[in-house]
Amino acid sequence: MQEPKRLSLATLPTPLVRLERLGRMFDDAQIWMKRDDLTGLELSGNKVRKLEYIAADAVSRGCDTLVTEGTCQSNHCRATAAVCAKLGLHAVLLIRPEPPDEVQGNHLLDALFGAQTRYYPLERFNAEREDIVEGVLAELNDAGHKPRWIPMGASEPLGCWGYIRAIAELAEQLNGFGISACDVIVPVSSGGTYAGALLGTLLNRMMDVQLWGVPVSDDVDYHMREIGGLCRRTVNQFELPIDFADTSMRFIDGYVGEGYAIPYAAAIQAIRLLAKTEGIMLDPVYTAKAFCSILDGVKDGRLGQDRPVVFIHTGGIFSDFAWPQNLLED
């Protein structure tokens, strides 16, 4: 097995810390956090780990432009824009739906990092996605650029290496703290973070580590299908020496709420609780919803009692500034 080329863009390793004050509120529950919100490149969260591999591939193939898609508040688009600024590449972001009235949060940073943004009505983008992407890539080629397309969330086999590597890092840190058995919880949307992390636990033979994905969009059947496919493609493409089976995927369901990026009261309370007890910010789209599964688990004794529970904090703080009223309202 050969690790693909990687550009060192993130500040690694990220800290693994115990949330002592929070744990004391729940019978001394052993709640830990892997601070991947602190990966650097302006708090790029989980995305920069994936982009370290994808950008290395783009640069080695002589590409001068990264093209990707997302919403106005996409952490992935913002992280791609930051990586491009750092490497002197162009970023072209296909944003759906159409432009917001106010430019704020992640989208403000897209502009400051110098990304070019193109807006599409959501329905049109969904209906004509492939044609739109092909058209943009052809146009950039015709203009003398060499673009590299990055799928949503950088969830492609190469991007999975970001979390294969992150889990090796976590394994070493757990070892340093004398922790051999634990539950690890990660938010799931486009799936590359969970897929990479799962492959990482299999590669590192972490038999006593149970990795749980908490969907914050779509349903579990969808993620089983998509993430299963992504894991298989990654195993095949890089000849990973593991037997991947769908049965190794585990999800904790029930935290999407009404839909992707629609906040709910428990998630807002989780943001406030972490802010007040630990001085750590979660975000309303991904990490707060996933963290609710830990709060429920420690309350009913399923998590953090017999063995530690580790939350992978995947970042996303800039969304807090996009919807401040949600965080302040009771």
CB of 37 to ligand PLP, least distance (A): 8
CB of 256 to ligand PLP, least distance (A): 13
CB of 286 to ligand PLP, least distance (A): 3
Backbone angles phi, psi at 219, to 5 degrees: -115, 175
Where in 9-48 is the site for ligand PLP (CB under 6 A)? 45-46
- 106's CB contacts (< 8 A; 6+ apart) are 72, 73, 74, 75, 77, 78, 318, 319, 322
- 27's CB contacts (< 8 A; 6+ apart) are 298, 305
Catalytic residue, from 74, 155, 189, 217: name it: 74
CB of 72 to ligand PLP, least distance (A): 13
Of the pair 192, 308, the CB lying nearest ligand PLP is at: 192
Contact between 315 and ligand PLP per CB under 6 A: yes
Contact between 188 and ligand PLP per CB under 6 A: yes
Cα gap 97→117, rounded to integer Å: 12
74 catalytic per annotation: yes
Contact between 162 and ligand PLP per CB under 6 A: no
Where in 190-249 is the site for ligand PLP (CB under 6 A)? 190-194
Of the pair 190, 293, the CB lying nearest ligand PLP is at: 190
Four-CA torsion 202, 167, 183, 225, nearest 10 degrees: -60
Binding residues vs ligand PLP (CB under 6 A): 45-46, 75-76, 153, 155, 187-194, 283, 286-287, 314-316
Q: Any idea which residues carry the catalytic annotation? A: 74
